[in-house]
Chain A
Amino acid sequence: MVEITIRKRPQTEAVITQRKFFKKTARGKVVKVLRERYLRDDVGCGIESCRECTSSDGELLPAAGDLTHQLFPNGHFILPDTNVFLSQMDLLESDLFRSPIILLQTVLEEVRHRSLPLYNRLKALTKSEDKRIWTFYNEYRSETAIIREEGETPNDRNDRGIRNATAWYNTHISLTHPPIRGQTQAALPTVVLMTEDAANRQKAEQAGISCTPVRKYVEGMKNATQLLDLLSASGSDNIEPTQAASGRQMLYPEYLPSATLIAGVKAGQLHQGHFNPNPYNYLEGSVSVSAFSKAILLVGRENMNRAVQGDVIVVEVFDEKEWKAPADEVIDAETTLKNDDAEDSGEEGDENGEEVMAEESRILRSEAQAAASERQPTGRVVGVIKRNWRAYVCHIDTTSLTSTLTTSLSTQTVFATPVSRLLPRIRLRTRQAPSLLNQKILVTIDRWDTTSRYPEGHFVRTLGQVESKEAEQESLLLEFEVPYRPFGKAILDCLPLEGDQWVVPPKGVGDLSNVWRDREDLRDLIVCSIDPPGCQDIDDALHARLLPNGNIEAGVHIADVSHFVLPDNPMDSEAAARGTTVYLVDNRIDMLPSLLGTNLCSLRPFVERLSFSSIWELTPDADIVNVRFTKSVIKSKAAFTYEEAQIRKDDPHLQDELTQSIRLLNSLAIKLKAKRMAAGALNLASPEVKIHLDSAESSEPIDVEQKELRETNSLVEEFMLLANVSVARKIEESFPQTAVLRRHLPPPKTNFEKLQDILRKTKGLTLDVSSSGALAASLDKCIDATEPAFNTLVRIMATRCMLSAEYFCSGSVARDTFGHYGLASDIYTHFTSPIRRYADVLVHRQLSAAIGFTSLHPSLHSKSHVEKILDVVNRRHRMAQMASRASVEFYVGLALKGRGEASRSRGDGEVREEAFVIRTFRNGVGVFVSKLGIEGLVTFKRDIQFDADNYTITVPGSASAAGSGGDVKISVFDKVVVQIEVEKDKNTQRGKVRMTLIEPVESRAL
């Protein structure tokens, strides 16, 4: 009989085997957690040819360690402590950093506890192939496991554990590598404890453990110069002995501890929100919080207290009598701070610093006086809940360099100016400063001390020469966090095996993979697609035909992406993470691999393609009789551009079926649009321009023109809206809890207050914002007979007052907030572009389940899962829009530059364009050049009269250079002529559009 022994662990061992700790839950309960620990003797050390440890899995560390380091000629391994990982991750991730690393479990757990993003980076690092990292589970090996002493803090306990493990490693190596008789003893490698904590080092040295601070270690490495720059600023404390820390003056108040912040926010005494800096004024920012209808204003450096754009901060609001109005002056950090010195801007007390302070307080005082019409809650930042720091694209500020000799390798402290105006300058120390001039570089912020006026950061990598296409494009993608890496193998493996040879299998017996199951054969329908010129990812096609009963059958056929992108595979997760395809002027960052996007899913003409069709029966008055959805196979008969379709429609000689179907669609679209408008849909405008590229290769822009809209644009748009609305109703009905929908919340009335005021005072017009219909009607009345562009301008400004539309999960919000304000529809979704939007892919899956074609993937039944995906998609969507706008701006800049050069060479002088004044400031005006779709600022150096209440400025007659006599009054909506130049900022090489006023008054002299 088999003998069974139960090896029960005696209760007396509990101290060793059990680890107990408390956890406070989100609901305020305290839970005791118990972890069992089994100590073993066979946790491998991970070093090659170790006689005791047999570990088969994972890559082992080389037996001799790393032999290239100066300080350790006998070879070594490094064993970093937690803080090294927390503060020097960039260094460890560098390709040049190749020392073998022993990662302790204690360290790993502490990193996870302190920072989840860093923990994920560390996990990725341990898995990467070119790194030699061994994770040693020291808490589970009986020799290295420790228990906490009485009165020992958790930190001390962990430090002791790390020291213990280091000591064990060293003895372990000497025991497992005994000298072989007859041979001289080979030198043994050392395991070096890497820590920044001086007290810990001291204790380690007492115990005979070799240890090193990070900087000293890196200095001894082969690639010290490059690697030293990657050191984060927090590591450099001890190498600035000349500056007595006590001599530094506090520039900013300390943050409150985070628990206090949370308590304050809970009690309603503090407010939490995202920090938004003012792009016009670097000394001002705002935070939108739920407690106030207006955003909380933060005025001055001290009150903004080291907040950086996007940080989640906590604000204390001042008493109401201290509330201020937002500034009406343009304050540019570059002009005010140009004399600031990077080397010593850390300490105050020097003349320079005082100068800056005096200047800034002057500016703030003058603002305080100006406080007039509208006060806003004002407050100060008392703490930061979450930093949103990432790598920023920057330029090195030339003037901050002390030596520009490229041979100079001395460390310099320089300023890096981020491309985004919303960010402060970053101070960084580098040895390669001269070689970084004229480069776009990536810089990470490490910390911002109370004693330092600027955040400190470190150099990550260079992107390339300023104004080179590649560098500009990459910097743009980085700046808007667009994931642009090529698709990995796992993703490409999800594509059909046939590659671009894939075709719709023949119907019937040959259909092995059952593609035709439940699919309608619509190959004979006269279907065509209408898209912008050069469009490769055709995701929609249309058809229309008369029915015998006098009604019209119209169909929208959308590429059946969900046939290829199956839920929960690598391609699906990647698409979910990318969220959307990003269109740049000269490039497109795809959401799906291009085989699908531009070939298999693209509804090209004359080939059979799978599609998801929505087919209506409409009365000649465009009322829906019924609608059905079906998976289908189509064969498009033509792919038109908007222009071609328009010409074909207007050509009276053509009477073929295709042309008639376009005419039918067009007549329906006109009626549909009229209905929409009657329901109160808004006709909004955004400044859209089109960049002409010379040729595909050189992609030099030659000119910019405004996009033209044709009847056929509207045709396609109307049918897409119709499809989206019909699909939205269907999926909401089938999946009331998890349907993926899109909504546009009505904007709060206060958003329009300023625009209403401006219109009333300058033009005597009123804007009724009570509903979208009323707004649409009153927008139609905003006409200036002399100026046709005025209406567009008001529409653009009204658009800016609105909220942005968003995807949401139908179960997460109240039913009455589903509506789409702009389209005046009670329900809406995105169904028509699954190739380039991930939300549409989800909608396709839900619709396909709703018609019983497939069953719904379980993840789409989970509200929290859908919400999580849509959060990402919403964010990506926003970022993608910003990225493409920035890309257009960059090309407009290039085009302007080219145009300027051309006109100068012709002797015509600079480029001049008509512009509208859209904002007035104490010292300038904001203008909008509608022809180029760009905004600009004109600032005056001399004093002008500013009337904030009436939105006008008056340039005194005597001051005007022309001297034509009389004061010149400029108010918002006035048409002016500006001269546009593109100039490079001397210091930062940042391209900048500079505008000067030409008419009605010349501003150059002012």
Chain B
Amino acid sequence: MASTSISKAEKSYIQAGLLASPSRRTDGRGLSDFRPISLETGVAPLANGSARLSIGHNPHDGSSGTEVLAAAKLEVENSTDSGRIACSVSCSPSAYPNLSTGALDDFQHDLTTVLNQTLSDRSLHPSNLVILPGKKSWLLNLDIVVLADSGNIYDALFMAARAALWDTKVPRTRSVEYKAKKNESVSKSTVGGSGDMDMDQDTASGLDTRQIISNAIDFELPDYWDEGEVLDGRDRWPLCVTLNLVPPVHYLDALPLEEASTPVRLLLVFSFPSASSPTVQAMRMLGSGELSVAEIKTLVTEGEKYAKEMMTALTFKLKEEDVRWGQKAREKFARR
């Protein structure tokens, strides 16, 4: 992993600080405090949805923080399923100057796997990625670039992913098909009936087991100036909380040095389909330590609490961004 080489003495110094009561972290934060997060959506005008997110970026003290850029791009695909989501994470080499090319590839692959497995899960699948059922659908490519890493990369990835997907608009399409009109009075001479079985074709009946196949083979864009409708189920996109465990305590939003001195980290990915019932979408342990089931249970409950807070803050910010792009921008234009 993004191992920062660290001496034993340093490691034990940091661990001691975390275990002390009250805890002492290098930047003076409490155990469950986050660094400031800044977020902006709509940063890539050619993408269908995008966001730039940074954790702990502070120009005053020169700390760069963790910074990621996420962009969702839709692509028409001939496929029989109801659309796909494909995520990929790539890391800027400057974010990990200590890693070799091979190691960087491995690391990217790890990040991609976690993100892709979680987000492309059927339980989160948006319903409006279908263009023509059984024929054409959208492939949503979510590409995230890690521009700088100063700790807590997983949380940043998921937050940026959620923001970009929230911002994603799917172009409206209209299916185009040709239906032969059978009962038209084109040929008046043949109306007399030819003595076939008289089946009423128009009424829908439960007895009719024939599959109704749509003839639509193509689609059009009814309004090409329109960015489209928001991606369905955008409230469901999950968030990740990384609990860094230095038994018996855990803390959030680790710095690189802290990460290096933490034996076990637990990734908990929560989705909030409704405000009351969160679901755990993914869980993953990183590091060499061990955890018992009982411990995990309590950690999940704790994690859910943190996730909920983060979710509230993030959703608030995202809604604000929506307004900034829509109404406010127009008002600003009118005031000019």
A216 within 8 A of B: no
Q: Which of B165-196 contact A (CB under 8 A)?
A: 171, 174, 176-178, 180, 184, 186-187, 189-190
B227 within 8 A of A: yes
| Chain A proximity of B39: nearest CB distance (Å) | 13
Most buried by B among A22, A256, A264: A22
Q: A14-B45, A269-B178 are in contact. Are A30 and B171 (CB under 8 A)?
A: yes
B333 with A380: CB separation less than 8 A:
no
A267 with B178: CB separation less than 8 A:
yes
Give complex CA distance A45, B180 in Å. Answer: 54
| Chain A proximity of B181: nearest CB distance (Å) | 9
Give complex CA distance A271, B308 in Å. Answer: 59
Give complex CA distance A154, B228 in Å. Answer: 14
Give complex CA distance A318, B182 in Å. Answer: 10
B218 with A22: CB separation less than 8 A:
no
Residues of chain B within 8 A (CB-CB) of A368 are 189
Residues of chain A within 8 A (CB-CB) of B150 are none
Residues of chain A within 8 A (CB-CB) of B336 are 16, 142
B103 within 8 A of A: no
A32 within 8 A of B: yes
Give complex CA distance A316, B326 in Å. Answer: 46
B178 with A30: CB separation less than 8 A:
no
A23 within 8 A of B: yes
| Chain A proximity of B235: nearest CB distance (Å) | 21
Binds B, one of A145-153, A707-715, A753-761, A925-933: A145-153
Residues of chain A within 8 A (CB-CB) of B43 are 11
B215 within 8 A of A: yes
Q: A259-B218, A322-B190 are in contact. Are A23 and B178 (CB under 8 A)?
A: no
B330 with A15: CB separation less than 8 A:
yes
A29 within 8 A of B: yes
Give complex CA distance A142, B40 in Å. Answer: 27
Q: Which of B211-248 contact A (CB under 8 A)?
A: 215-218, 220-221, 223-228
Which of A11, A12, A21 is within 8 Å of B224, CB to CB? A21
1/0 per residue B37-71: CB within 8 Å of A? 00010110111100000000000000000000000
Q: A15-B330, A150-B326, A260-B177 are in contact. Are A30 and B76 (CB under 8 A)?
A: yes
| Chain A proximity of B79: nearest CB distance (Å) | 13
Residues of chain A within 8 A (CB-CB) of B136 are 28
| Chain B proximity of A293: nearest CB distance (Å) | 23
Q: A20-B227, A30-B171, A256-B178 are in contact. Are A14 and B42 (CB under 8 A)?
A: yes
| Chain A proximity of B184: nearest CB distance (Å) | 8
A218 within 8 A of B: no
Residues of chain B within 8 A (CB-CB) of A154 are 223-225
| Chain B proximity of A380: nearest CB distance (Å) | 6
Give complex CA distance A267, B218 in Å. Answer: 9
Q: Which of A320-344 contact B (CB under 8 A)?
A: 321-322
Which of A28, A149, A269 is within 8 Å of B330, CB to CB? A149
A259 with B225: CB separation less than 8 A:
no
Give complex CA distance A735, B261 in Å. Answer: 73
Residues of chain B within 8 A (CB-CB) of A21 are 224-225
Which of A29, A149, A253 is within 8 Å of B76, CB to CB? A29
Residues of chain A within 8 A (CB-CB) of B216 are 263
1/0 per residue B73-87: CB within 8 Å of A? 011100000000000
Residues of chain B within 8 A (CB-CB) of A269 are 178, 180, 215
Give complex CA distance A15, B336 in Å. Answer: 13
Residues of chain B within 8 A (CB-CB) of A20 are 45-46, 225, 227
Give complex CA distance A16, B335 in Å. Answer: 12
A32 with B186: CB separation less than 8 A:
no
B6 within 8 A of A: no
Shortest Cβ distance from A153 into B: residue: B223
B325 within 8 A of A: yes
A32 with B180: CB separation less than 8 A:
no
B325 with A263: CB separation less than 8 A:
no
Q: A15-B330, A256-B178 are in contact. Are A322 and B225 (CB under 8 A)?
A: no
B329 within 8 A of A: yes
Give complex CA distance A269, B75 in Å. Answer: 28
A18 within 8 A of B: yes
A244 within 8 A of B: no
Q: A29-B76, A34-B46 are in contact. Are A148 and B225 (CB under 8 A)?
A: yes
Q: How large is the interface on A (under 10, 10 to 19, 20 to 34, 35 or more residues)?
A: 35 or more
Residues of chain A within 8 A (CB-CB) of B332 are 15-16
Give complex CA distance A24, B218 in Å. Answer: 11
Residues of chain B within 8 A (CB-CB) of A798 are none
A266 within 8 A of B: yes
Residues of chain A within 8 A (CB-CB) of B178 are 256, 260-261, 263-264, 267, 269-270
B76 with A16: CB separation less than 8 A:
no
Residues of chain A within 8 A (CB-CB) of B224 are 21-24, 154
B221 with A24: CB separation less than 8 A:
yes
B325 with A32: CB separation less than 8 A:
no
Give complex CA distance A316, B224 in Å. Answer: 30
Q: Which of B278-336 contact A (CB under 8 A)?
A: 324-327, 329-330, 332-333, 336
A106 within 8 A of B: no
Residues of chain A within 8 A (CB-CB) of B225 are 19-21, 148, 154, 157
Give complex CA distance A256, B224 in Å. Answer: 21
Shortest Cβ distance from B336 into A: residue: A142
Q: Which of A569-606 contact B (CB under 8 A)?
A: none
A939 within 8 A of B: no
| Chain A proximity of B9: nearest CB distance (Å) | 45
Shortest Cβ distance from A39 into B: residue: B336
B333 with A16: CB separation less than 8 A:
yes
Q: A22-B171, A142-B336, A269-B178 are in contact. Are A262 and B190 (CB under 8 A)?
A: no
A303 within 8 A of B: yes
Give complex CA distance A260, B219 in Å. Answer: 9
Q: Which of A448-497 contact B (CB under 8 A)?
A: none
B45 with A30: CB separation less than 8 A:
no
Residues of chain A within 8 A (CB-CB) of B330 are 15, 147, 149
Q: Which of A1-47 contact B (CB under 8 A)?
A: 11-12, 14-16, 18-24, 28-30, 32, 34
Residues of chain A within 8 A (CB-CB) of B186 are 302-303, 318, 380
Residues of chain B within 8 A (CB-CB) of A142 are 336
B217 with A267: CB separation less than 8 A:
yes
Shortest Cβ distance from B48 into A: residue: A32
Shortest Cβ distance from A18 into B: residue: B45
A30 with B190: CB separation less than 8 A:
no
Give complex CA distance A34, B333 in Å. Answer: 19
Shortest Cβ distance from B326 into A: residue: A150
B221 with A266: CB separation less than 8 A:
no
Residues of chain B within 8 A (CB-CB) of A30 are 74-76, 171, 221
Give complex CA distance A153, B221 in Å. Answer: 13
Shortest Cβ distance from A322 into B: residue: B187
Residues of chain B within 8 A (CB-CB) of A28 are 76, 136, 218
Residues of chain A within 8 A (CB-CB) of B176 are 257, 259-260, 262-263
Q: A29-B75, A260-B178 are in contact. Are A15 and B218 (CB under 8 A)?
A: no
B187 with A263: CB separation less than 8 A:
no
Residues of chain A within 8 A (CB-CB) of B75 are 29-30
Give complex CA distance A154, B222 in Å. Answer: 10
Shortest Cβ distance from A378 into B: residue: B187
20 example contacts (A-B, Cβ-Cβ < 8 A) are as follows A23-B224, A24-B224, A28-B136, A29-B75, A29-B76, A30-B74, A30-B75, A30-B171, A149-B330, A150-B326, A154-B223, A253-B184, A257-B176, A260-B176, A260-B177, A263-B216, A264-B177, A302-B186, A303-B186, A322-B187
Show the binding face of A for B, using Cβ within 8 Å.
Answer: 11-12, 14-16, 18-24, 28-30, 32, 34, 142, 147-150, 153-154, 157, 253, 256-257, 259-264, 266-267, 269-270, 302-303, 316, 318, 321-322, 368, 380
Beyond A24-B220, A28-B76, A262-B176, 14 additional pairs, beta carbon < 8 A:
A14-B329, A15-B332, A22-B171, A22-B228, A154-B224, A259-B174, A261-B178, A262-B218, A263-B176, A263-B217, A264-B178, A267-B217, A269-B180, A368-B189
| 7 residue pairs, one from A and one from B, having the closest CB atoms | A264-B178, A15-B329, A259-B176, A263-B176, A263-B218, A259-B220, A21-B224
